[in-house]
């Protein structure tokens, strides 16, 4: 049998990926020929086109029910562009997204600016704040960071109370919390450090849910080698790897986060990106069973979920009251359409992203065909239960549409 395509992942393939960090993202020079014999096709050039014919492609105009997207980055991705915001609200209208939560306001830094930015469409947005651990300290000198001062947590709790009175709906923790911020001695600050306890307690008292991003995809904690299923992505972004002794393990991070969830049962936690463990839904199930104050959302993880459609469907049916809708957007309409197809259809083998190459693994996904009552819960009912203050804005959208 003739080998049409030979992919070689080895040191020294000219123009192709080599094992180890890469500097350049340029397309490789074409040294191979399409005869299967004269040279290896570098992984960077591999773009298989499916030969499947007559599989269903459902063209959905938007979410089946007006959706609340609980995970958005309207600061980071739109970079203050007013036109970008106007354009995205048009996308929200077209895609039946009633409300988006922006996670990009920083407490005590740009909260009112961010609220002002969203103000022209204030009925379509709600804001979560993230905390300012650094304060006026120097980025590279952890000892100077505000979070190491005696009263940081109590001051933060007071600022959170002010933020709540200014309309803030929740609090966001980024992955740097556990994988980035440092103690004066150079160690990473720990998620379950008791110094933060007054913050978790304030979130409970103020009824501010906490969306927490802990750890990252499993592949990012593995060596960047020929066995890594996200090799080509990590070769493009070697700085995304957390493999090595200098980092806590993924399990240590999850354990620390879970101790916080357990210790603060009155605080509502939203595990961002399926509690960052969509690769192991059995384990996420155990967490949901153990912690009634935990819900999850699938943003930027339909690539993982949609490649295990039977397991995912069972999970979504069983935990239909514990899953909110999130995308990690704002995204182009094409990306959003993959979310609808993933949740609502039995479509097979379709992309999870409009990007080329696909950004989170070289594979495609399958729809899980959720029943309508479950879609309603995931698109809006669960979010309204967790954040009742969103109800007024949500009802406004429903009345107008």
Residues that bind Zn ion (CB under 5 A): 328
Count Cβ atoms below 10 Å from residue 376 Cβ, excluding itself: 16
CB of residue 173 to Zn ion, shortest distance in Å: 11
CB of residue 361 to Zn ion, shortest distance in Å: 18
CB of residue 209 to Zn ion, shortest distance in Å: 15
Count Cβ atoms below 10 Å from residue 85 Cβ, excluding itself: 19
Given a contact cutoff of 8 angstroms between Cβ atoms, the answer to whether 100 and 63 are in contact is: no
Buried b or exposed e, range 251-280, using 16+ CB within 10 angstroms: eebbebbbebbeebeebbbbbbbbbbbbbe
CA dihedral 240, 242, 248, 254 (to 10 degrees): 60
Walk across the sheet containing 210-212 and list its strands. Answer: 67-72, 97-106, 125-130, 170-173, 210-212, 269-271, 294-296
CB of residue 217 to Zn ion, shortest distance in Å: 13
Residue nearest to Zn ion (CB): 328
Cβ proximity to Zn ion: between 13 and 126 the closer is: 126
Cβ proximity to Zn ion: between 328 and 347 the closer is: 328
Q: Is 177 helix (H, G, I), strand (E, B) or coil?
A: helix
DSSP H helices in 38-173? 82-95, 111-118, 152-165
Cβ proximity to Zn ion: between 45 and 69 the closer is: 69
Cβ proximity to Zn ion: between 173 and 254 the closer is: 173
Cβ proximity to Zn ion: between 95 and 102 the closer is: 102
CB of residue 400 to Zn ion, shortest distance in Å: 28
Cβ proximity to Zn ion: between 60 and 101 the closer is: 101
CB of residue 373 to Zn ion, shortest distance in Å: 28
Beta bridge partners of 306: none
Count Cβ atoms below 10 Å from residue 70 Cβ, excluding itself: 29
């Amino acid at each position: 049998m003739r080998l049409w395509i030979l992919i070689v992942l080895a040191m020294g393939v000219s123009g192709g990926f080599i094992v180890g960090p890469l500097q350049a993202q340029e397309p490789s020079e074409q040294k191979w020929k399409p005869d299967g014999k004269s040279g290896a096709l570098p992984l960077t050039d591999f773009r298989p086109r499916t030969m499947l014919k007559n599989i269903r492609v459902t063209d959905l105009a938007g979410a089946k029910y007006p959706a609340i997207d609980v995970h958005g980055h309207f600061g980071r991705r739109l970079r203050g562009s007013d036109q970008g915001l106007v354009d995205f609200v048009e996308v929200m209208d077209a895609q039946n997204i009633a409300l988006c939560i922006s996670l990009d306001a920083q407490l005590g830094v740009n909260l009112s600016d961010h609220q002002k930015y969203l103000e022209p469409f204030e009925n379509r947005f709600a804001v979560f704040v993230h905390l300012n651990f650094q304060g006026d300290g120097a980025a590279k000198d952890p000892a100077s960071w505000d979070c190491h001062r005696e009263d940081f947590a109590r001051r933060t709790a007071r600022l959170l109370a002010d933020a709540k009175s200014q309309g803030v709906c929740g609090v966001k923790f980024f992955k740097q919390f556990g994988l980035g911020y440092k103690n004066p001695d150079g160690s990473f600050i720990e998620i379950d450090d008791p110094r933060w306890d007054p913050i978790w307690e304030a979130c409970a008292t103020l009824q501010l849910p906490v969306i927490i991003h802990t750890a990252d995809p499993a592949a990012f904690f593995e060596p960047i080698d020929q066995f890594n299923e996200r090799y080509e992505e990590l070769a493009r972004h070697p700085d995304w790897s957390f493999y090595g002794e200098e980092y806590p393990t993924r399990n240590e991070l999850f354990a620390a986060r879970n101790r916080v969830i357990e210790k603060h049962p009155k605080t509502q936690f939203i595990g961002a990106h399926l509690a960052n463990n969509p690769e192991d839904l059995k384990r996420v199930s155990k967490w949901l069973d153990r912690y009634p104050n935990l819900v999850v959302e699938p943003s930027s993880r339909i690539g993982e979920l949609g490649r295990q459609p039977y397991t995912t469907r069972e999970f979504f049916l069983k935990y239909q009251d514990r899953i909110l809708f999130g995308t990690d957007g704002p995204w182009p309409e094409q990306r959003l359409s993959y979310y609808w197809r993933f949740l609502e259809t039995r479509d097979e083998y379709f992309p999870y992203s409009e990007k080329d190459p696909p950004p989170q693994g070289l594979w495609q996904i399958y729809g899980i065909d959720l029943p309508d009552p479950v879609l309603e819960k995931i698109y809006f009912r669960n979010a309204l239960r967790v954040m009742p203050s969103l109800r007024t804005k949500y009802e406004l959208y429903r009345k107008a549409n």
